[in-house]
């Protein structure tokens, strides 16, 4: 199936109350534009084509999940709805435009300062507390989905593969892999163990992100070898941060989050926050 794409004029015709500024990106059956609302707000407009019943259901769940979480660490949702674009049925999401860069961009300079790591960790735990209350699992926490605004605010984006714990899964029970991102996915995601998917799955990814911020390197990724990356995520225990010169408390927190068994990770975000608050950031 060819990728879905639209011209600026086609979008302007379908959304006459918006000023279409430029295209931000496209992939598969989704395209994103930077727009200005009639109230003068700069926003991001996501348009998804209804290509199949499954993709339509996933899009609806993504937009529903994004609308269920609130706070400074998420993009504000302005509108969710349906529209006909060039005669095709589409779903759309109009949300706050995040003026900034991704955490991946920051990682291009290598290991990050401890103060920055602390800020990212605190912000993500605050965001995950809201995700937990909404009975969601983000399932795709990675540097590409963590935006840093120009004012320093951390924003968690992209609920494209979020799991709604109160709803039936859209992934087949017989799928070899569950929805995931290589190098950040917890073992229960890789093994498609649906009953084990919980907020502790997001804590695993948080641990990986913190490890990568501290060392400048993802502990599981083998470039060009996704299968080896999955194998390492399942079986490899990377060197502890303490062995690399970081404080025992920071090392203990990250190791606990990255435990292969979800039962050995913090059971709730509240418990994870308590452990995070005990980290000694004065070392090394």
Structure tokens at 8: 């600026």
140, 158, 202, 259: the active-site residue: 140
Active site residue 140: yes
Distance of CA 226 to the CA centre of its chain: 19
Q: Which residues contact 107 (CB under 8 A, 6 or more apart)?
A: 143, 212, 213, 216
Give the phi and the psi of residue 265 in degrees, each rounded to 5: -85, 165
Q: What are the residue numbers of the active site?
A: 140
């Amino acid at each position: 199936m060819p990728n879905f794409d639209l011209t600026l004029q086609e979008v302007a015709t379908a959304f006459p109350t918006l000023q279409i500024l430029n295209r931000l990106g496209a992939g598969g059956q989704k395209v994103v534009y930077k727009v200005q609302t009639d109230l003068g707000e700069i926003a991001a407009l996501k348009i998804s084509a209804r290509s199949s019943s499954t993709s339509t259901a996933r899009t609806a769940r993504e937009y529903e999940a994004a609308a269920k979480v609130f706070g400074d660490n998420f993009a504000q949702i302005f509108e969710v709805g349906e529209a006909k674009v060039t005669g095709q049925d589409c779903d759309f999401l109009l949300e706050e435009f995040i003026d900034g860069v991704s955490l991946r961009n920051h990682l291009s300079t290598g290991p990050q300062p401890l103060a920055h790591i602390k800020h990212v960790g605190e912000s993500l735990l605050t965001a995950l507390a809201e995700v937990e209350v909404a009975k969601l699992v983000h399932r795709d926490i990675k540097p590409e989905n963590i935006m840093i605004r120009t004012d320093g605010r951390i924003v968690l984006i992209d609920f494209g593969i979020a799991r709604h714990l109160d709803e039936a899964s859209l992934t087949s029970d017989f799928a070899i892999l569950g929805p995931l991102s290589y190098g950040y996915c917890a073992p229960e995601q890789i093994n498609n163990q649906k009953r084990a998917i919980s907020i502790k799955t997001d804590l695993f990814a948080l641990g990986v992100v913190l490890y990568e911020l501290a060392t400048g390197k993802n502990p599981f990724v083998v470039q060009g070898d996704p299968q080896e990356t999955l194998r390492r995520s399942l079986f490899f225990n990377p060197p502890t941060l303490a062995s690399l010169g970081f404080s025992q408390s920071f090392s203990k927190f990250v190791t606990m989050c990255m435990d292969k068994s979800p039962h050995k990770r913090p059971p709730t975000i509240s418990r994870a926050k308590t452990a995070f608050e005990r980290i000694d950031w004065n070392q090394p």
